Structure formats: C-alpha cells, structure tokens
Structure 1
Amino acid sequence: MKVEDFLNLARRTSTIVATAESCTGGMIAAALTDIAGSSDVFDRGFVTYSNAAKQDMLGVTATSLDAFGAVSEPVAREMADGALTRSRATIAVSVTGIAGPGGSDHKPEGRVCFGLARKGHPTFTETVEFGPLGRAAVRAATRDHALHLLAQATAEMQKTP
C-alpha cells in the first residue's frame, strides 16, 4: 500500500499515528509527513536512538534493557506502548534494530524488532531478519515493513464493526 493510500485509510478510520524509532532515526515519520496534509493523521514521532532516550521519552525500563538489550521484542513492545500513551495516537509503531555495519553472533546485522500498539488491543511484536543488506537497505526495509504493519492494522480496524 502506498503511503498516500494508508493516510487516506487512516482518515476514514479516524486513526492517529505515532512512531517510536531507533535504527531508522525518523525515516518512518518522514515517509508519513512527506505527504502534504498528513498532519490530520500523524501526531508525533519519537526518535530514541540511545537507551537513555528510550527510557526518558518512552518509559522503557532499565530492567528490560539490561535483561534483553535494546534490540529485543520486549523493548520494542515498551517503545510502542510508550509512544501510544505519550501521544494522542490510536496506533503506534516502534522499531529497534541493528542496521549495520556490524552486529554479533547473538544479534546479527539486519535484525529488527517491531512493536505495534493500538488502543483496545494487545501489543503485537515481531522480529524480522533482513540480513546483512547494508545500512541503507536495512533501514529502508525497516521503514517499509513498519508502514506495512500500520496499514495492515488500520485495514483490520476498518473491517471491525
């Protein structure tokens, strides 16, 4: 789905979006706000590149960061939940990952954890292994997947009576 189509769908469903981004550094918010008139759908974006920013801006706990690391589904969940509760949004997407170069055996380059929080629904998380595509390609793939998650969840909300 094109970004313009998602924004129109969000308007029809009265969806308001917030983003919580680490490895993409604001690329998801930029993709949404590149479209004129998106301010009626997009509330705000949190760029929380450091662990301190994740804690200060989104309420991610030190316990989760210590136990699982920043690139983990528990942290992606807390990021999405934090963006939802600290905004006017009805849906929030979060991303945290290893864009590269580098990584480790435990957390390889191209691993990205996603969170999707919606008012009245359990928060969804998933990990996608994009692989060592290179920093720019991993970040672009992450942006596109996050936009897909937003569109898919919003389309599901439209079907709900």
Structure 2
Amino acid sequence: MPPFLLDNVTLDQAGRLLAVLRGAGLRVATAESCTGGLVAASLTHHAGSSDVVEGGFVTYSNGMKTTLLGVDPGLLARHGAVSAETAAAMADGALVRVPATDITVSITGIAGPGGGSAAKPVGLVWFATARRNGATVTLSRVFDGDRASVRQQAVAQALDLIGQRVHSS
C-alpha cells in the first residue's frame, strides 16, 4: 500500500464515527495541517458521508492558517504553528467559517522526517476539537515512526477525539 493511503482499520474507524455523528444529528468539519486532508479523506471515503461531513481546510502553511481560518499571525509568531494555541485557533476558526457544522477538529504537527527540535520533536502533534456552544479542547501526542506512520496515527487520534466530543460539550 502506498504510504499516503489510509489503512482499513482507520477507514473502519471513520465509518463507525460517521454512524455516531449521524445518530446524534451532528455535522463535522476539519482543519488540517500535517495530515494534509487525510481526516476528511477518511470520512468522505464512505458513501453517504455528505449528510455528516461539511468539509475541510488544508492549511499547511502559516499564511493559509491565517487566510482561511483566521489564525492571528501574532499568535503564530508567539507560539509557533505546532502548539496548543494554534490548534485551538484552527478549530475555532473552522467553527466560525462553517456555520452549519457542530464539531470541528484541527491537527498541526511535525510529521518528519525533519523539522523537529528538542522542544518540539518529530512526531509531536497538537489537536483541538471545538463544539458549537461548547469549549475548545486541546491535546498533544508524540507519535513514533516514519512520516506515514505519524500521519496515520494522527488521523486515528483525530477521529477518536471527534467521537469523544459527540457526547460532551
């Protein structure tokens, strides 16, 4: 399997999540950086996903995070693209820009193989979920493996986080 494709476990996870969202009457949107749209791809892989998935933003550069999601350039300068603050701003920005959505998830990280530092190692990924009329929640993980593995694990974590937000505010 080419490294950019999602495995069947992740696609099955996405299918189960769609059923949960559908049952709760909720819609989702994504804001992705290091995963390059793979969360949205995992969800839209399934026929009929349009009743749950509003869409997604791929904001790989800081400029796109600012232009498409409204992330403050000052926030990016202070905290960097890979931070809790940026992940939260991305999720909040998607929620504002997609009024028909109920839950958003954002992902920003260092998939590697380069780009890491002692403070922000390769494999560090920040996530945020925002829920309409609810709090924005952030989470970080440091994943092991090569670039494809880090991205795959990040997608699975993002899907799990969306599922958690279905039953919380």
TM-score (norm 1): 0.94
After the TM superposition, list the runs of 4 or more consecutive aligned residues in structure 1 that deviate by more than 4 angstroms. none
* 1:94 matched residue in structure 2: 106
* 2:158 matched residue in structure 1: 146
1:22-55 per-position Cα deviation (integer Å, ceiling 9, x unaligned): 0000000000000000000000100000000000
1:96-150 per-position Cα deviation (integer Å, ceiling 9, x unaligned): 000000211121000000010001111000111113x110000000000000001
Report how far residue 2 of structure 1 moved: 2.3
Indicate if the aligned counterparts of 2:113 and 2:122 stay in contact, CA closer than 8 A: yes
**Aligned positions of 1:6-155 closer than 5 A:** 6-87=17-98, 88-102=100-114, 103-131=116-144, 133-154=145-166
Residue identity over aligned pairs, in percent, reads 49
* Separation (CA, whole Å) in 2 of partners of 1:115 and 1:6: 17
Unaligned runs of 5+ in 2: 1-11
TM-score (norm 2): 0.89
Indicate if the aligned counterparts of 2:13 and 2:156 stay in contact, CA closer than 8 A: no
* Separation (CA, whole Å) in 2 of partners of 1:101 and 1:3: 27
Could you say what secondary structure the match of 1:2 adopts?
helix
* Separation (CA, whole Å) in 2 of partners of 1:62 and 1:7: 34
Could you say what secondary structure the match of 2:18 adopts?
helix
Matched residues, number = 156
Unaligned runs of 5+ in 1: none
1:141-160 per-position Cα deviation (integer Å, ceiling 9, x unaligned): 00000000011211x15xx8
* 2:9 matched residue in structure 1: none
* Separation (CA, whole Å) in 2 of partners of 1:118 and 1:16: 10
* Separation (CA, whole Å) in 2 of partners of 1:37 and 1:142: 24
Could you say what secondary structure the match of 1:94 adopts?
strand
